[in-house]
Structure 1
């Protein structure tokens, strides 16, 4: 089969969705787990070139004979005789018959290993010596709260060489001050805040001779009546946020009182009854608790996330180049890498998840391809130079400043460093085995990967758990927006060694898919992860399936499985120091409509489920059941960006009819610098309609784009089930933000379902005339492109393109309306100028208008000056 001209160029979006779902991290070797010293060591082109067709097949990826099987017994000496495999007979894990290949077994938990052995990096080994621990780290390392607040702490240990160490017995925990009460043993322990006091070392973990501590501040329990105490902390570091403006507002949105947080991050603001309670800080995303009951809940703890694009950085990584193949066995190697993402992945900007796109060249046969890939993805021929990657990171904590410019604590408080788990998924696919649809334009690359990876044993996972990096102020481009192409990645990480095979194929039963714009979502993806406290979710594997034949509530039937609605997944066990941490499945369904329709929003619905144990089940006979259904897409959500009543909504009012199983709604505005304002509300409140408050006079309003015309910001609506699906388990904004509650910083960990609609922002841009001052002939057709807005006059349409002319002769006062997309969903609208219009300096203003032809408020317009002789 000739190589696909399109397949490599489609890998970028695949990697993008992988990273957007996961949030991401690390570097190890990509050894597929096929021992190359297994006899016979011979090359092949077909199975008949191998010594026994019953016990070997030709692995076309490397043109080598590999052990074959139909059942696990086919891998054992009793069956193979002279073709026995020492790695299968001498290992306590034996071999797995993995899609007809004999591959050494991989453990997933200590219980998989015999006797006193433990599972580390997928192998059964002697328990690590706890005395090898040279350093450790407690997470969270800083806590601020009130008496009675419960906090779970986790410890990470390292050897003198900096390698992660997971001791069999964990750590010994103790309290150092009356500020906390508790003790325990293991990798984690829970303490309860007690006696109020200033910040001090209060919790200690001991691993061998290494000790590490967490600092705790306990605020007084009493809160003066007539107002609310608001404690503001950094979501990802636990540090208090001083100098944040806390404002209370009426239900109509006007500010009634405001104050500023002190050194401990706390402030008292006058408020009674239902109010909007907002926190503003220029370095962080704004946060509003809509219609908060200030009389019943007078002690609140909110967590802010730093502006995602103010600082940028991360790590530069290198993949494993792969084995040198025979000339007849060319294979394509694929790699995706990143840094783990803590909390809700939606908190990050797409740019911070993926990195900027880059153009790379790949030689395939006699041809060369110029591809656009995100910076965390690579594609190359096995044996040739592997591509390097850049993985963006999210600010957090560090026990040493990676660039050495700041003291560690100063770097943490400035958002200038972080420690995450670096990860990589790598593998290779023989060019001759690429599916036929890889040649077809429009193929979804993530679906292709999601189908190929579960059936291939040649993919591995690499994790570097304690990867430190620095972040510097993001360069700003000429347009005033962040220039991510200019960001430097000063820390290096290698993904060339230490990989663990994705040794566990199994099936997941995907619930019925919801609809968007009247059609069922047409694809589903499963991301298999491990949840690392203080680090975030780390991807360990994936799977995917379309929903097109037929387009119904179930994903299409996979020929390898028994029924529709099942998705085959392949993943690696927790490794690289993450052993003992919980596995988690992220199952997402989305639609390709946004790719093909410029007016469409991005609709995604996601379920998150714990995975108690890994199962080797390549036939999918024991599918994982999520025991929950997807939340419906909130496609009817509406917001009035104008301060006055407009289109049936009051000024700055948000209204949506959301799924009744939801417990929290997040309305997220993002300006052109990537800075956000998130409004948290109870689902009942958004069904009734709520007002987004006006910010204090000295605070920038991030519901607007931040340009000279005052256009609207990007809008995303997220509907979440937090805590659980039963009514008694659901957690709403009031409970999450309560001073003695679970904490808003744990929303990501506690979320079980998310349905989101990334509405974006409507925009109109000029296609022709292309240049300012361009000369046109009389009666010319002009063309604009519209995005985020459905042009038309029928049901479901948003409105028209309104073209007004000024200046010249026979031009002034002319208004034209266009409501037809002439580009098959690409949002291009064409209008023809009047033949009588001529002159120099004619101004053409294209703006979006509602269905009655009235300009939108705030306006969405593009202006072009032309000469018409």
Structure 2
């Protein structure tokens, strides 16, 4: 069984960096940001340095560092004999004064450089020649669509060493057939599908002496009357999905028609009026369009994502030591790496982001503390061997250069390989800098890190644009209990050891909009993740910032100690580098509450804003405005898992009240094997209720988890309200317009979404705490305890029901039932009940069951049994 997932992908990222929080600056060794020094000077106090007015003694590294108050303090005119070579070299960009340290200026775009030069890996230089190109690939490389569909392409270029090559000139696009109209310039092209044709090479690009192409299939424009044509494609590879069952269901969820897609992934199904239109394939997540108008939208494109835990793999190896240290301090080396995230973070299984968790030992003081960290994290002492790390990847495209891949197209179509961008954040921390409260209960490592990282100049980013890997069936997946910790990784880490990475050189502030509320309280923290969006690869982290909202708890984040203004979050990030230059920067701003609700729900509201470019603004003089507002959270969420009516809901009915600015609602069910069923709805329909259809014969019902043959429990439910650019709420029918053949395209949802409010609903569970095991002996009239999760205890407003303990067997026990509706302590979810004094006997069964407000057991049953002896 896989490790329980973390509630937030962003929290997962920062949790791994726990030991960077509260640490001050890290020494990155000989690749000093201003080096080289004329000589290495060790020190105890500032007076040990050559000139205390120009240097200070870094107590963490016991080394003199160049000091400054202004940029002029870094130049030769001010420093004289203590000039810094990197700040005064001919043709260089000079140095900035960053957190009172002199550090070289880093470029973020070609416009930062002089005419005739370009920005690559954070430094200005001569533009590379196209003659260095030895290979290229187009993304997407396969397209299936209908006339009128617009497709954006990008070419990736590599040189003989395999390193990425970003050219200023020398890229030429060519249309090869009348099936596409358009063209491109530089690394990008945009075309419109035109004349119908079977799969063929329709677009080519030449870079120097190499060329590559994209294959295109254009379906006929006509759709036969009386039904809907549905095209089913893989959301991450563009390949058609044959043998998918497309089903049409009535308002009550009953199946009306079902057809199977052909080799092109297309099928015509009879349908008229308002129906539920669903695509089912055992290897993919199910997708349902609720209340689809089959008479108006008769040509539909449904993009499916593979089951995230059916196959597992990625890259693994000793974490690369990018630099060596000159410090005499004993230090803890810290490394975090992962592979880029395609789509919205919630599209992934948490295990697919930074990997399953594992325990590591951290020397602190005279003892050892064991921590549970994702597999992409590394902690080790200077002088010791770097530990292995593993980063899982999501299936996608690859080529035959990948070891173990004999037929690349077969591997792509079976989800056995992928190509993503590998990223890493690296640093080192002297042990004497570890804060005393590092392991204190309740410490939020994400918040600590996000508040302290912007104030440091010693964080570095390393990237590998084209990390290729294979995936194999996940151990245990055939039994429905995938064990991702037992998965093997066939490929080594892709980082070039001689490349030190690029410093997180851009500190600035982000103005966070007013934080939303959940259950009457403002969310108490905000996180800002600086990223770059990589076509065909996904989201790549470049930096981070965070702020609390507790003093006071109001709509604004607390004032930062350095900026002194509420509502501003300081951020620090690296520029794009290692082949990602020229791609768009994005800010992901998330608001959440640090404490998980008693019923297991997790609420998060997130904005995705374009960042024109990072700026060097350490004092936050010109804050970056997200330009958007958070969506309110969908608090009133109800779903009847039972097939029969219960309360106000009919069988399998979903209801929710969402923000009026949302344009699409997603209800996503996930079972223990990580397999999903996503239902897309128009926000106007969620108030009235939407019935989730029954799956066709032969397909599992993923709204449930099945233990064996008979026992079933609820699948996890997550509800998202999304604001999608290009979908006008006033027009309505957002999901249908999104997936229409002439629409925006469901596979582009991540690029089009600028706000999403997410509520993860806990799975109701009940567990015995006392007695701890079967066969235990209890005294007559003794107290028993039961733990409840994913369920709000209470019979009043906001409560969902009670715990009922029934007794069977023995003497004076039968037909006895005990009820508890309040936990013994707030937030613990644990109840205590007193057994009747007259109940006694051997083998007495105590059956704990969750019941609703009417006293009826939840459906499916949520129950746990203990057998005890009561003499």
Check whether TM > 0.5: yes
Which region of structure 1 is more displaced relative to structure 2, 431-440 or 523-532?
431-440
Match of 2:806 among 799, 804, 811: 804
**TM-score normalised by structure 2 residue count:** 0.94
Q: Does 1:488 align with 2:488?
A: yes
Q: Does 1:277 align with 2:271?
A: no
Report what 1:385 is aligned to.
385
Report what 2:49 is aligned to.
50
Report what 1:426 is aligned to.
426
Q: Does 1:584 align with 2:596?
A: no
Report what 1:233 is aligned to.
233
Report what 1:249 is aligned to.
249
SS in 1 for 2:353: helix
- Displacement, 1:365? 4.1
Distance change >3 Å, CA 189–CA 585, structure 1 → 2: same
Q: Deviations over 1:398-426 (max 9, x none)?
A: 01263415411111001000000000112
- How many Å separate the matches in 2 of 1:604 and 1:472? 33
Listed as ranges, the matches of 1:149-298 within 5 Å are: 149-169=149-169, 171-298=171-298
- In structure 1, stretches of 5+ residues that fail to align are 1-11, 23-28
SS in 2 for 1:746: helix
- How many Å separate the matches in 2 of 1:472 and 1:144? 27
Q: Deviations over 1:321-366 (max 9, x none)?
A: 4544645x34443322110011111111112223211111122343
Report what 1:108 is aligned to.
108
Distance change >3 Å, CA 731–CA 213, structure 1 → 2: farther
Distance change >3 Å, CA 184–CA 739, structure 1 → 2: same
Report what 1:755 is aligned to.
757
Q: Does 1:17 align with 2:16?
A: no
- How many Å separate the matches in 2 of 1:705 and 1:39? 66
Report what 1:790 is aligned to.
792
Report what 1:373 is aligned to.
373
**RMSD across aligned C-alpha pairs, in angstroms?**
2.2
Report what 2:658 is aligned to.
658
SS in 1 for 2:217: strand
SS in 1 for 2:704: coil
Q: Is the 8 A contact 1:428 1:459 kept in 2?
A: no
Q: Does 1:38 align with 2:34?
A: no
SS in 1 for 2:751: helix
Report what 1:3 is aligned to.
none
Q: Deviations over 1:150-173 (max 9, x none)?
A: 100001001122111111126211
Distance change >3 Å, CA 577–CA 552, structure 1 → 2: same
- How many Å separate the matches in 1 of 2:731 and 2:530? 25
Distance change >3 Å, CA 122–CA 219, structure 1 → 2: same
SS in 2 for 1:379: strand
Report what 1:334 is aligned to.
334
Q: Is the 8 A contact 1:354 1:391 kept in 2?
A: yes
Report what 1:7 is aligned to.
none
- Displacement, 1:478? 11
SS in 2 for 1:78: helix
Q: Is the 8 A contact 2:152 2:191 kept in 1?
A: yes
Q: Is the 8 A contact 2:35 2:85 kept in 1?
A: no
Which region of structure 1 is more displaced relative to structure 2, 440-449 or 231-240?
440-449
Distance change >3 Å, CA 261–CA 480, structure 1 → 2: closer
- Displacement, 1:822? 1.9
Q: Is the 8 A contact 1:88 1:94 kept in 2?
A: yes
Report what 2:58 is aligned to.
59
- Displacement, 1:223? 0.2
- How many Å separate the matches in 1 of 2:723 and 2:111? 33
- Displacement, 1:123? 0.9
- How many Å separate the matches in 1 of 2:287 and 2:727? 25
Distance change >3 Å, CA 19–CA 746, structure 1 → 2: farther
Provide the aligned length of Structure 1 versus Structure 2. 849
Q: Is the 8 A contact 2:36 2:85 kept in 1?
A: no
- How many Å separate the matches in 1 of 2:732 and 2:693? 26
- How many Å separate the matches in 2 of 1:305 and 1:104? 44
- Displacement, 1:192? 1.1
Report what 1:826 is aligned to.
828
- How many Å separate the matches in 2 of 1:731 and 1:552? 35
- Displacement, 1:317? 4.2
Report what 1:498 is aligned to.
500
- Displacement, 1:854? 2.1
Which region of structure 1 is more displaced relative to structure 2, 198-207 or 495-504?
495-504
- Displacement, 1:711? 1.8
Q: Is the 8 A contact 2:422 2:494 kept in 1?
A: no
- How many Å separate the matches in 2 of 1:234 and 1:483? 25
Which region of structure 1 is more displaced relative to structure 2, 486-495 or 150-159?
486-495
**Does 1 or 2 have the higher relative contact order (CA < 8 Å, sep 6+)?**
1
Report what 2:21 is aligned to.
none
- Displacement, 1:731? 8.9
- Displacement, 1:36? 4.2
- Displacement, 1:583? 0.4
- How many Å separate the matches in 1 of 2:806 and 2:438? 46
Distance change >3 Å, CA 31–CA 170, structure 1 → 2: farther
- How many Å separate the matches in 2 of 1:441 and 1:39? 46
Report what 1:569 is aligned to.
571
